[in-house]
Structure 1
Amino acid sequence: MKKIAVLTSGGDSPGMNAAIRAVVRKGIHEGLDVYGVYNGYAGLMDGKIKKLELGSVGDIIHRGGTILYTARSEEFKKDKSQHEAIRQLKDLGIDGLVVIGGDGSYRGAAKLTEKGFPCVGLPGTIDNDIPGTDYTIGYDTALNTVVENIDKIRDTATSHDRTFIIEVMGRHAGDIALFSGVAVGAETILIPERTFELNDVVEKLNKGIKRGKKHSIIVLAEGVCSANELAEQLKEKYHLETRISVLGHIQRGGSPTGFDRVLASRLGARAVELLLQGKSGRAIGMQKQEIVDHDIIEILKQKDPLPEGVYSLSQQLSI
């Protein structure tokens, strides 16, 4: 193996640049030529591929987003498009590909692997919903961003004696909502993995009011419903006035935390090592502080479990 490439795909997450940097510098350290693929799988099909040098990834470890940019591509799901992507890589003599992204990105890497092109995947998503790893690149930063913003919202909630509904990201996974809710002491945490009764939410809020609470915080994952929908239900059925705050894409941005920078660096370096060892179709992660890798096809068949202990704790502490 003489040449490898790296791309970022799907939603961006803080720490992707640190992972790109690690792949490039570890690759060059091992005597490889390293290429960057711009605009994800869409750029791969279009041949937007450029050789990267040490200086290409200088001064990026602290930056959010991705210098390679990213995109979602329905076209890449087609068999002929995957063959075109492989042709683009082979025309440049590239022998292996590192894919940084979430579930959809992993599926693309798996398809290329099935067609005989060596790929490894790194978990880059703020949702922390990739099996085979305790943490995904960007999750810790997003979590801290949410906590910081809810702390600020709590100040005004207290001042005005109000109940706030904070909508956070997480269509299918409630990790951000669950862990941030515990971290800020939210009265109610609503996540996609668990159903809820509106009456239970109101009952908990009323208990707080009776004991003199001046404010309440409801943390809502977007996969449950929108903050507007929940606010309307509470007003219509229980005459309860709330204020809403949708944190939105602020959760994706910002300088990555030290944890995410180190995680991304360790995973990126390991990706290069696996390709040099002739291994492909691997999904890299960290479990119990150790860097591990699993078959990417098997990972895609699994469902990332909800941390039941933390969910149970959230219920016990929000009485």
Structure 2
Amino acid sequence: MGGYCGYLANMGALAAGADAAYIFEELFDIRDLQSNVEHLTEKMKTTIQRGLVLRNESCSENYTTDFIYQLYSEEGRKNVLGHMQQGGAPSPFDRNFGTKISARAMQWICMKLKESPGKRKRFVTDDSTCVLGISKRNLFFQPVTELKKETDFEHRIPKEQCWLKLRPLMKILAKYEASYEVSDSGQLEHVHHRGHEEPAAI
């Protein structure tokens, strides 16, 4: 799930205590896969007889789910979730959030109609072509013209994603026997971000 955005895989991995999560935003190679397999092999020798690896469907064209499954096939099984986790009855949070965001959108539309001097005049301006979203727990409208600067339209993701700073936590929580030395930029040294010459600082 997630398309070219690894947010769901990353947060799901953190929540479930996964050993690895492969995402589009961070390049990985066969050495990373080998390190993960060795980590799980050693882990299986302890009292913790389980492992969990998540893969975002767009993380790599070559390292497919089947390929990764073969690496872990001696002790593992695969489950491709796909859209299985979508749908169902809305939770109280979903209903509450839907009501709040709908009411806010209607207030905005009414305000724009009142600002329009004539009944048949158009009221489309740079700030009226916008999207409604959440930032720091607040609902706000952001003009689409502002989003153009911040958006990778090819992959339909933001150019900068703050949740990527949480990536090193997964290795720490999974108790990898790797060195936790960080580079000058504050990242684990083996992590390479897609589309950046240097990883963003934590």
Same structural fold, with TM-score higher than 0.5 when normalized by the shorter chain: yes
Question: Is 2:124 the partner of 1:286?
Answer: no
Instruction: Identify the residue that residue 46 of structure 2 maps to in structure 1.
Output: 211
In 2 relative to 1, CA 301–265 (structure 1 residues): closer, same or farther, beyond 3 Å?
A: farther
Give the partner amino acid of 1:297. Answer: T
Aligned mate of 1:295, from 130, 134, 143:
143
Looking at structure 2, the residues matched to 261 and 222 of structure 1 have their Cα atoms a distance apart, in angstroms, of 29
Structure holding more strand per residue: 1
Counterpart amino acid of residue 208 in structure 1: K
Partners in 2 of 1:241 and 1:206 — Cα distance? 9
Give the RMSD, CA atoms, in angstroms: 2.1
Opposite residue 190 of structure 1, the aligned amino acid is: Y
Percent of residue pairs bearing the same amino acid type: 27
Aligned to 1:190: 22
| Distance (whole Å) between structure 2 residues aligned to residue 284 and residue 206 of structure 1 | 47
Structure 2: runs of 5 or more not aligned:
113-126, 152-157, 176-202
* TM-score of the superposed pair, with normalisation by structure 1: 0.42
Instruction: Work out which of the residue numbers 45, 48, 56 in structure 2 matches 1:221.
Output: 56
Counterpart-to-counterpart distance in 2, 1:249 and 1:170: 10
Query: Contact 1:285–1:291 (CA<8 Å) still a contact in 2?
Result: yes
CA distance, structure 2, for counterparts of residue 285 and residue 204 of structure 1: 40
Residues in 2 aligned to 1:203 and 1:310: alpha-carbon distance in whole angstroms: 23
Residue 240 of structure 1, CA deviation = 4.2
Instruction: Give the C-alpha shift of residue 172 in structure 1.
Output: 0.7
Partner of 1:262: 96
Q: Deviations over 1:43-80 (max 9, x none)?
A: xxxxxxxxxxxxxxxxxxxxxxxxxxxxxxxxxxxxxx
Give the letter aligned to residue 189 of structure 1: A
In the alignment, the residues of structure 1 paired with residue 42 and residue 148 of structure 2 have an alpha-carbon distance, to the nearest angstrom, of: 43
Preserved contact between residue 193 and residue 306 of structure 1 (Cα < 8 Å): no
Q: How far apart are the structure 2 equivalents of 1:240 and 1:194?
A: 27
Matches within 5 A, 1:83-232: 169-196=1-28, 197-225=32-60, 226-232=64-70
Greater helix proportion: 1
